[in-house]
Amino acid sequence: MIYPMPMGEGRIRRSGLKRAFFLGLFLFPILSGQSFAAGPFQKEIGKLNGALESRFKQYGWTDIRPEDIEWESHRTTPGKNPLMFAQFGNEGNECILFLGAVHGDEFPTVYLLFKLAFYLKENPTVFQNKCIVIAPLINPDGFFANPPTRINGNGVDVNRNLPTKDWNAKALSAWKGKNRGNKRYYPGRGPGPSRKPCFRLP
């Protein structure tokens, strides 16, 4: 399993990345341009690509075309958005995983990871004999909310839902105490993956 972390690198052990991916997490096919999608949610990825391109234009991100990357998805979010990711390089014992938009209202990681995906596509020597996975939008529900929000479609702060050793002992009490029950920081009723905050790699 791969658990979400703020944008950065995570080395993960793999036993078949193609078989399943994630965060119980982005209905129409893309209307123009070449669209790539793998996994059981090809139609949903086409719709998501269209929604992303529209949103990116609002933010002035005109140098990004989501449909130009071969995205995969094997899970959807509480808001029925497919959880997209792209793999670059060979399947091996370990991969480098980049996760973006753990909080849906934090836009820089979204832009940077889409740009990274395009860079890798255009520069295959970078991932020669390596495995890199880009998941640029692990909280699409929060990203597409109006206004965009930190929490996911279940009202959970994904970053505080990771299954740490002390989650059961401290997560809810810290939320009620330090965070004064602020809904933006709600850690969920239980730690992931039971509440779908994680990428799954069977």
Convert the pLDDT of each residue in 66-103 to its tens digit.
999 999 998 898 899 999 999 999 877 688 999 999 99
Report d(CA 127, CA 151) in Å as an integer: 33
Q: Tell me, yes or no, whether 195 lies in a domain.
A: no
Q: Tell me, yes or no, whether 198 lies in a domain.
A: no
Domain of 105?
10-185
Q: Tell me, yes or no, whether 113 lies in a domain.
A: yes
Report d(CA 95, CA 12) in Å as an integer: 5
Q: What is the mean pLDDT of the chain?
A: 79
* Per-residue confidence (pLDDT) for residue 202, from 0 to 100: 30
CB-based burial, 82-93: b 16+ in 10 Å, e otherwise: bbbbbbbbeeee
Assess whether pLDDT exceeds 90 at residue 62. yes
Q: Tell me, yes or no, whether 97 lies in a domain.
A: yes
Question: How many domains is the chain built from?
Answer: 1
- Within 10 angstroms of residue 39's Cβ, the number of other Cβ atoms is 20
Least confident interval from 4-8, 50-54, 126-130: 4-8
pLDDT in tens, 124-164: 999 998 999 999 999 999 999 999 999 999 999 988 988 88
DSSP state, 98? E
Q: Tell me, yes or no, whether 3 lies in a domain.
A: no
pLDDT in tens, 122-134: 999 999 989 999 9
Q: Tell me, yes or no, whether 86 lies in a domain.
A: yes
Alpha helices (H) in the chain, listed in sequence order: 42-58, 108-122, 140-144, 172-177
Q: Tell me, yes or no, whether 48 lies in a domain.
A: yes
Q: Does the bond joining 193 to the residue before it have cis omega, within 30 degrees of 0? A: yes
- Alpha carbon of 61 to those of 101, 143, 161, 197: distances in Å? 16, 15, 30, 27
